[in-house]
Amino acid sequence: MSSKKRQLVLNVFFQRFGHHLAAWRHPSSTGTGRPDLNWWINAAKLAEAAKFDTFFIADFIGRSGEITPNTGRSSISYQFEPFTLLSAIAGATKDIGLVATVNTNYDSPYHVARKFTSLDHISGGRAGWNIVSSFGEHTAKNFGLKDPRAHEERYERAEEFVNLSKALWDTWDDDAFDHPDRKAGQFYDPASAHPLKYEGKHFSSEGLLDFPRPLQGYPVLVQAGNSDTGREFAARVAEMSYCSATSLGVAQDFYKDVKGRMAKYGREEDQLKITPGLSVVVAESDQEAQDKFNELQQLVDVSNFHFGGFDLSAYPVDGPLPDLPYQSGDNGKGRFQQQLELARRENLTIRQLILKFRVARGHLQAVGSVKTVADTIEQWFVERGADGFNVVPPYLPQGFEDFTRLVVPELQRRGLFRTEYEGKTFRENLGLHRPENPNTARDPQRKTA
Ligand SMILES: Cc1cc2nc3c(=O)[nH]c(=O)nc-3n(C[C@H](O)[C@H](O)[C@H](O)COP(=O)(O)O)c2cc1C
C-alpha cells in the first residue's frame, strides 16, 4: 500500500455540448457542430485550473449509414480523433493527464504503442489509454470487417494487444538516448536496445519500437467495462476504471468485487482507481439546482429513444418497457441490465426511464446545493463506492463551470481534493507506480549506466 494519503480522483469526460440528452438545446448552449479546437483547449484549461487529474476523450468510432426520419435529431458527439486533439491540448496545458480512447479491434499494437509514446513525450508524461474493445455492427462495416468478434474474444485480443504494446515500450531502456558520446561517435549503447520477437494468437511483431520509452514507462492504463470479463481485465491490467452506477450499493459491490480480484495478480488495491461517472447540476440552493435541472429535462425529446441498442420509438412512451432479449456478456449490456432491473423494480414507464436514468446516460445524477453534491461525493468516496469520479458535465460550458466554481473549492475545504498538483507526471499525481523496464532490470550492466 502506498503511504500517500487517499485522495479523491477527479476526471472530466467532455462531449461537445454536454452529456445530458438535451444539452445542445439548452439556452446557454452555443456553437455549431463544426469541430472547434479552441473550445476543446479552453475546456481542458478550465479542468486543469481546477486541478483535475484527467481530461478524457472517448471515441465511439464509426457511424452507421442508416438514415431514418429520426436521424439528425440528437447531437451525438462528432468530435476530434483523440491523438491529434490531445497533442494540441498537451501544448496548451502542463499538468492534467490526457487519456485517449483506442479500440483494440481496429488498430495494430505497433501503431498504437508509438502513438502513445509520442503523446507521452509531447505532454511531458501525461498520456493515458482508455482501452476499449466495443464492437458495433456499423463500425465493423466502416472498417470492412466481415466476421463479428464475440465478447470474450474481443477481451482476449485486447489483453494481447496491451501486452504486446508493453513489450514494445520495453524495447528501449529509459535512458537509451540520454548519453550520446560525440567524441567516441557512439550515439547510443547497443545494450540499451532489446529487440523482441513476438508470435501470439492475434498479433505478431519483430524488432524495436521507433521511439524512446514513454516518460511514464507506460501510459496510464484505463478500462471501462462492467461484464465479468471486463472486471477481470480491470483487476489484471487497468490502473483506472471508468464505470457507471446509479446507487451507492451498486457502486460498492462493483468496487469490492473488482478490487477483490487484484490480489491474485499480485496487485495492490490502491493501484487501480475506480471512478464512476457523475453528472452534477449544482446551484446555491437545492431548489435552484432542481429548477435548473427541470429546465433541461423539459427539453428532452422522448420520441427518439434507443436503449441498449434497441429502438423503442415504436412503443408508447407512457407505457411499460417491453421485454428486451438481452444476452449476458454482450458488449456493454451489463450497464443497461443494471438500469433495466432498476426500471422494472420501480415500475417505470419508458418516459420515466429516460428522464430518470438515460438523461445522465446511466451515471449517478447529483442535483442540489454545494453541500448536497459534496456530501454525496464524500459519502461515495469514504464508504468505498469510488476512489473518485469521472465527471460527465450535463451541459456545457455552464454545467462544468458551476462544478469547478462551487463544488471543487468545497471538496478542497474538506481536505478531500488537492489544491496543487503534487507530481510531474499523470502517474505521480494519481499515486501510481512507474513500471520498471523488465529488460533493463535483467541487464545489470545497463542498470548502473
Ligand atoms: C465512462 C465510459 C466511457 C466509455 N468510453 C468508450 C469509448 O470511448 N469508446 C468505446 O468504444 N466504448 C466506450 N465505453 C464502453 C466500454 O469501454 C466497453 O467497451 C463496453 O462497456 C463493454 O464492456 P463490458 O462488456 O465489459 O461491459 C465506455 C464505457 C464507460 C462506462
Q: What is the pLDDT of residues 100-151, one digit of tens each?
A: 999 999 999 999 999 999 999 999 999 999 999 988 888 999 999 887 788 8
Mean pLDDT estimate for the chain: 92
DSSP string, 255-303: HHHHHHTTGGGT--GGGSEEEEEEEEEEESSHHHHHHHHHHHHTT--TT
**Model pLDDT for residues 388-412, shown as the tens digit of each residue:** 999 999 999 999 999 999 999 999 9
* Residue-number span of the structural domain to which 85 is assigned: 9-279+365-447
Flag whether pLDDT at 362 surpasses 90: no
- Report the number of distinct structural domains present in the chain: 1
Q: Could you say which DSSP state residue 361 is in?
A: T
The pLDDT of residue 306: 77
Q: Per DSSP, what are the bridge partners of residue 99? A: 56, 128
Question: 180 alpha carbon to ligand 1 midpoint, in Å?
Answer: 43
Q: Does any domain span residue 112?
A: yes
Question: 6 alpha carbon to ligand 1 midpoint, in Å?
Answer: 26
Choice from 12, 242, 361, 363 to test ligand 1 binding pocket (greatest atom count within 8 A of CB): 242
In angstroms, the CA 122 to CA 227 distance is 34
Q: Is the CB of 103 under 6 A from ligand 1?
A: yes
SS3 string, 19-72, reads CCCCHHHCCCCCCCCCCCHHHHHHHHHHHHHCCCCEEEECCCCCCCCCCCCCCC
Across residues 355-361, what is the average pLDDT?
A: 82
Nearest to 308 by CA among 252, 358, 250: 358
Q: Does any domain span residue 107?
A: yes
Q: Is the CB of 334 under 6 A from ligand 1?
A: yes
Q: Is the CB of 134 under 6 A from ligand 1?
A: yes
Taking the CA of residue 230 as reference, the ligand 1 atom at the shortest distance is 26
Q: Does any domain span residue 348?
A: no
Q: Does any domain span residue 354?
A: no
Across residues 162-180, what is the average pLDDT?
A: 97
Task: Look up residue 283 and give its amino acid.
Answer: A
Q: Does any domain span residue 173?
A: yes
Q: Does any domain span residue 356?
A: no
* Nearest protein CA to atom 20 of ligand 1, as residue: 332
In angstroms, the CA 51 to CA 405 distance is 12
Flag whether pLDDT at 448 surpasses 50: no
Question: 225 alpha carbon to ligand 1 midpoint, in Å?
Answer: 6
The pLDDT of residue 444: 64
% of the chain at pLDDT higher than 70: 94
Task: Look up residue 12 and give its amino acid.
Answer: V
Q: Does any domain span residue 324?
A: no
Q: Does any domain span residue 295?
A: no
Question: 200 alpha carbon to ligand 1 midpoint, in Å?
Answer: 25
Residues 6 or more apart whose Cβ sits within 8 Å of residue 278: 363, 364, 366, 377, 389, 390, 391, 392
Q: Looking at residue 272, which CATH number applies to its domain?
A: 3.20.20.30
* Secondary structure element (H or E) that encloses residue 159, with its range: helix 151-169
**Model pLDDT for residues 312-354, shown as the tens digit of each residue:** 888 899 998 888 765 555 666 666 777 777 788 888 898 988 8
